């Protein structure tokens, strides 16, 4: 799990953020200093031997030199200790260069076949999107009289009782429940259909036998529910679409077409992401990584450590304490896991850079400037210069080269549209069995994740801060934990 936490925090570090950097240079410098000290010491000894029969003044000078050498050695040892502790680490300026084909044996990468379902946006999907937009614009009709209907959002107060006593998590006030959403246990939402605004009703219900809370599983309970108000989807009119589009559209027909276009764009982006993922999996399975450029790995590890040291300092914490609370590890373990994460993150780069080298691709100055402009705009930089100041020209150029290689890969891919087929009952059972295993595994991971508070929230914040880079990687967002009333409501939702 500790490794997973690090991976979550650095999931987006594929291109511009192989983020981290390397003490290899520091180690080399230390060895060079040690060798130089040894040579100097030998030289001094020879000189002392030659002057052994000389004047006493020479002996005194030699003794003084020896004392000075001892002082330098002490200073060197202290400096080395500080470097070993990571206290004096600085973020490296330049990203190491390397030849990817020295580390990768490429499999087939041209003429790969990817199958995707055909693109289709249905009228039902458009209707659902419009309803969502209406709700987001807070343009639902509010009813203070009438009865609850399927599709309404009912604002309710409720108290759940087991054997006449209110049970934990079964009470809430002012909760907005979408009728028909299946949020609460069977019978709860259906039991509110037809109830008038302002009325109170008792709902005798039974919790499922497999309910998560064993104290409630299979138990017969009664929910006393009061309907405070009802919000209902209004008729979609020209006036309404003008309202929810801030006047951009004044007719229902044109607004529906705009929604269709948005959905098609989203589906196209989703499909392109699916194609890229499929291509990467095929490329990875047919290719072999023989090793990793150590200087780049060190570059990544050092940058990662520097970033987390800065985060620890921002929280007024010692670095070792931060690691223990966030990941449950010491620095030595952190560096080991960091190296694993960095290697994982640069695998895509190795494949794409190897393709670029095989195809003789280079990044011209014009392409570099064009992509700098694009990256700066996409990731919120005021100027291309600000982007380059953050990442360095070499890092940006590597990202551009990967983008070119990926475009080449896509241009040479055969995309086949295949209709999705319905699963047989046997296939459905196998799929459900597999999902059950994944769910059980996910539950165990979730339990471990919860135990890492408060560090998990900090880790999420780090990931969001550091992942805004011009990389081709896609990442899952880390959900933020809501607090206060929302958290209580979520508890009530689960148990109700």
| In a shared domain, residues 81 and 95 | no
| Spatial distance between the Cα atoms of 294 and 306, rounded to a whole number of angstroms | 18
Say whether pLDDT at 58 is over 90: no
Q: Do 296 and 191 belong to one domain?
A: no
Range in 35-44, 75-84, 178-187, 226-235 the model is least confident about: 35-44
In three-state secondary structure terms, 125 is helix
Residue ending a domain, among 232, 254, 280, is: 232
Indicate whether 157 and 208 sit together in one domain: yes
What does R_g of the chain's alpha carbons equal in angstroms?
32
Evaluate whether residue 473 is within a structural domain: no
Higher local confidence (pLDDT), 1 or 389: 389
> Hey, which residues does 231 pair with through a beta bridge?
142, 153
| Residue 134 near residue 140, CB atoms below 8 Å | yes
The stretch 275-279 carries a mean pLDDT of 94
DSSP line for 406-456: HHHHHHT-EEEE-PPPPPPHHHHHHHHHHHHHHHHHHHHHHHHHHTTTTHH
Residue 144 has what pLDDT? 86
- Which helix (H) or strand (E) is 52 found in, with range? none
How far are the Cα atoms of 169, 180, 212, 452 from residue 222, in angstroms, in the given order? 14, 20, 18, 37
User: What single string gives the DSSP state of each residue in 322-372?
Assistant: HHHHHHS--HHHHHHHHHHHHHHHHHHHHHHHHHHHHTT----HHHHHHHH
Q: What is the pLDDT of residue 150?
A: 95
Look-up of token digits 């990544």: 300
Give the list of residues 6+ apart from residue 182 with CB closer than 8 angstroms, or none.
Answer: 189
In a domain, 379, yes or no: yes
Whether 119 has a pLDDT exceeding 70, the answer reads: yes
Q: Pick from 490, 456, 409: which is nearest to 2 by CA?
A: 456
* Residues 376 and 383: beta-carbon distance below 8 Å: yes
CB 372 within 8 A of CB 396: yes
Helix (H, G, I), strand (E, B) or coil at 423: coil
Among 85, 100, 133, residue at a domain's last position: 85
Among 56-60, 82-86, 252-256, the minimum mean pLDDT is found in 56-60
- SS3 at position 294: helix
Distance CA 149, CA 193 (A): 5
* Range with lowest mean pLDDT among 204-218, 282-296, 422-436, 470-484: 470-484
104-105 and 200-206 strand pairing? unpaired
pLDDT of 259 = 97
- 114 beta partners: 415
d(CA 317, CA 203): 52
Residue with tokens 């953050």: 390
CATH number at residue 371: 1.10.3120
CA dist 240 and 134 (Å) reads 8
Last residue of a domain, one of 417, 448, 467: 417
Is 427 inside any structural domain?
no
Pick from 153, 171, 152: nearest CA to 162? 171
pLDDT of residue 12: 38
Res. 391 pLDDT band, cuts 50 70 90:
confident
Across the chain, how many H-helices and E-strands are there?
Answer: 16, 9
If asked whether residues 313 and 393 sit together in one domain, one would say yes
- With CA atoms as reference, report the closest residue to 311 among 444, 146, 489, 459: 459
- Among 12-26, 74-88, 149-163, top mean pLDDT goes to 149-163
Query: Among all chains, which residue has been given the structure tokens 């009530």?
Result: 492
Distance, in Å, from the CA atom of 279 to the CA atom of 405, rounded to the nearest integer, reads 12
Q: How many CB atoms neighbour CB 332 within 10 A?
A: 9
Q: Answer yes or no: do 221 and 334 share one domain.
A: no
- Inform me whether the pLDDT recorded for 82 exceeds 80: no
pLDDT tens-digit map of 205-225: 999 999 999 999 999 999 999
Distance (Å, whole) CA 349 – CA 395: 11
- For residues 475 and 11, the answer to whether their CB atoms sit within 8 Å is yes
- Looking at 135-149, 173-187, 330-344, 453-467, which range is the least confident one? 453-467
Contact 322, 315 (CB under 8 A): yes
How many domains are contained in the chain? 3
- Let me know whether 37 and 105 are in one domain: no
Which has more confidence, 94 or 348? 348
CB-CB contact of 95 with 299 (8 Å): yes
Domain, as residue range, for 81: 29-85
Does 301 fall in a domain?
yes
């Amino acid at each position: 799990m500790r490794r997973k936490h690090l991976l979550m925090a650095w999931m987006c570090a594929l291109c511009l953020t192989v983020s981290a950097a390397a003490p290899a240079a520091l180690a080399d410098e230390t060895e060079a200093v040690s060798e130089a000290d040894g040579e100097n010491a030998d030289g001094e000894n020879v000189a002392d031997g030659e002057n052994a029969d000389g004047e006493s003044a020479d002996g005194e000078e030699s003794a003084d030199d020896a004392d000075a050498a001892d002082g330098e050695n002490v200073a060197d040892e202290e400096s080395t200790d500080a470097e070993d502790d990571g206290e004096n680490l600085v973020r490296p300026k330049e990203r190491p260069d390397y030849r990817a084909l020295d580390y990768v044996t490429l499999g087939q990468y041209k003429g790969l076949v990817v199958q995707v379902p055909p693109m289709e946006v249905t009228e039902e999907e458009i209707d659902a999107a419009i309803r969502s937009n209406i709700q987001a614009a807070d343009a639902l009709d509010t009813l203070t009289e009438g009865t609850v209907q399927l599709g309404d959002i009912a604002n309710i107060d409720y108290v759940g009782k087991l054997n006449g006593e209110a049970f934990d998590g079964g009470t809430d006030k002012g909760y907005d429940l979408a009728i028909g959403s299946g949020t609460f246990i069977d019978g709860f939402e259906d039991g509110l259909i037809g109830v008038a605004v302002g009325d109170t009703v008792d709902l005798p219900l039974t919790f499922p036998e497999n309910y998560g809370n064993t104290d409630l599983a299979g138990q017969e309970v009664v929910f006393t529910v009061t309907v405070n108000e009802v919000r209902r989807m209004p008729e979609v009119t020209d006036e309404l679409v003008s309202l929810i589009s801030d006047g951009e559209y004044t007719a229902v027909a044109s607004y529906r077409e705009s929604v269709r276009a948005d959905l098609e764009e989203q589906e196209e982006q989703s499909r392109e992401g699916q194609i890229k993922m499929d291509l990467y999996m095929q490329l990875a399975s047919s290719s072999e990584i023989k090793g990793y450029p150590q200087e780049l790995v060190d570059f990544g590890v050092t940058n990662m450590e520097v970033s987390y040291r800065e985060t620890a300092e921002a929280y007024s914490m010692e670095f070792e304490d931060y690691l223990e609370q966030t990941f449950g590890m010491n620095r030595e373990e952190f560096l080991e896991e960091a190296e694993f994460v960095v290697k994982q993150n640069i695998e895509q780069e190795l494949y794409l850079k190897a393709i670029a080298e095989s195809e003789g691709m280079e990044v011209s100055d014009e392409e570099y400037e064009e992509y700098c402009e694009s990256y700066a705009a996409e990731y919120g930089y005021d100027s291309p210069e600000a982007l380059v100041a953050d990442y360095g020209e070499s890092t940006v150029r590597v990202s551009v080269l990967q983008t070119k290689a990926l475009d080449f890969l896509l241009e040479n891919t055969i995309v086949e549209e295949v209709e999705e087929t319905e699963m047989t009952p046997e296939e459905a059972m196998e799929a459900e069995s597999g999902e059950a295993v994944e769910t059980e595994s996910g539950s165990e991971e979730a339990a471990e994740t919860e135990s890492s508070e408060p560090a998990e929230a900090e880790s999420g914040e780090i990931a969001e801060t550091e992942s805004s880079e011009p990389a081709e990687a896609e990442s899952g967002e880390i959900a933020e934990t809501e607090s206060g009333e929302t958290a209580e409501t979520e508890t009530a939702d689960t148990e109700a």
